[in-house]
Structure 1
Amino acid sequence: MALILCIETTTTNCSVALAKNGKVLALKEDMGLNYSHAERLHVYIQDVLNEAGLDTKKLDAIAVSKGPGSYTGLRIGVSSAKGLSFSLNIPLLATNTLKALAMQARTEDIKYVIPVLDARRMEVYSAIYDNNFKEIREIQAQIIDENSFKDYLNQGKTIFVGDGAEKLIDVIKHPNATFQTEALPSAREMAVLAEAKNKISDIEDVAYFEPFYLKDFQVNKPKKK
């Protein structure tokens, strides 16, 4: 039975939830298209605490969505989570971003759930789960073409969920494919995952924990004038 602050900043959604025993007490998020984490994250943290009538001294743990996702977003979220964990002397929990995203899927008559985050151009970050959200294939960064995920699509109805699904619609024409493009990772689904980790004391070392970037950071050279 734990009171956990959940922080999700892996995409443009700046999302914070306060959860007790895996149930969300308060949620604040910005589903806009622009990154607002630096300006809004700590405001949202205070907002959810105020809504629940609690303060940081009552928290039992801090949970952060570990990635993959935006490099800047991940750094902001993880830095804030580590700072709170250290200053309050409470555990730091790291939850699986793509599993939390998969949990938003509409799973009626679905065999596989494939969360997909946009990784620019025709690349996505993806993982594969069954309809009970058991991991079937680990997280990968992959280039999408018409044959992507074909082995799974041939086995039954499959839903692609996340902002990366938008680029799949025109490429994957398999009759078993459905798309839920409006979803972004949210602190709301983190609550259950964080509670499960807290129960088994699956915590991170605050000093050494780093986000799961999946790919090395690349700096694009400016074009010559």
Structure 2
Amino acid sequence: MRIFLGPSAQLLLLTHAGFKPYMCTGSDPADLLTRKKAGDAVNLGGAGSAGISALEAMQAEQTKRLELLGASSSPPPPPAAPAMRLSTFSVSDSAAGRAEADELLRRMLMKDKGELEEPNADLIARAQRGSKQWQDAGLHERAYQELLAVEKYVSYSSALGARFHLGLADAAQASGREAEAKRLRQRVMADAQSSSLRWQAEQALSKMSSTTSGKTSTSSSSSNPELNSLFRMPSQWD
């Protein structure tokens, strides 16, 4: 026995079974517009994916060409740290300072041994003559400075050096440098090889001491007139 269903009943049965029939006529215009936009979005999405794939392919091709020309895809190495120039300067300055100190010490040893006197004999003799001329003219400071300029070449032990330093001591005393004159004469007494020159230095020191003592006693007497009057001769008493 066959049961014949009408069109309405068939549509209801299909809808209940999960089927959504597509109807070309009688459909909602809004539903049709929504379906059209969805289709366009699908088509645009496919075109965008194709464009991205093409761009990636072009980039890969460009990278391959650069590698053939010698380019590397690895990142460049980090820049080197700056050199410590300050420490280099410090080392060089320290080395220069040591060299200068060594040279100064070497010249001091040569001076003490009298090894600089012969190479500079003309300078020393010229300074001694110039100092005497300034001293005769009463310019004691110039006389002292004339000898001091060449003192670095003269020792205390040799006859030439001891005699030179005695003259320098006289010029120092004449220019008001009492302590310097005393120091020079004491050094000649200690280092001079010549006994005659050591004796001259001793005599000059004794004279300095007596002169200083005389100045001190005179100053003390003049500063205390009452004490000074007690030691006057009886004929001078009132």
Question: TM-score band (shorter)?
Answer: under 0.3
User: Which structure has the larger Rg over C-alpha atoms?
Assistant: 2
More contact order relative to length (CA 8 Å, sep ≥ 6): 1
Q: Which protein is richer in helix relative to its size? A: 2
TM-score w.r.t. length of structure 1: 0.23
TM-score, normalised to structure 2's length?
0.22
